[in-house]
Amino acid sequence: MLMKRYWSRLLALVLVLTIGLIGCSSPDSLTGDYRQDTLDVVSTLRGCLKSFEW
């Protein structure tokens, strides 16, 4: 039960961060092309994660 709650919270955090990153980027960043938009979001997330030093 504890793991289920953990994964649920982690997924919620990832969704909030993704939506926040898309919303903070330029308003014309989404093109309507699902494949290209997905690649752009993944690229943005990778860039953000690389900016943090673990």
CA proximity to 20, closest of 46, 45, 1, 52: 45
Per-residue pLDDT, 51: 75
DSSP letters, 15-50, are HHHHHHHHHHS-TT---S-HHHHHHHHHHHHHHHHH
Q: Distance of CA 38 to CAs 3, 16, 19, 49, Å?
A: 28, 16, 12, 17
In a domain? residue 54: no
When divided into structural domains, the chain yields a total of: 1
Instruction: Establish if 36 belongs to a structural domain.
Output: yes
Q: Which domain holds residue 36?
A: 2-49
Q: What is the pLDDT along the chain (54 residues), one digit of tens a residue?
A: 688 888 888 888 888 887 777 666 655 667 778 888 888 878 877 887 777 665
pTM given for the model:
0.46
Determine, yes or no, domain membership for 42.
Answer: yes
Cα separation, 41 vs 18, whole angstroms: 7
Is 12 inside a domain boundary? yes
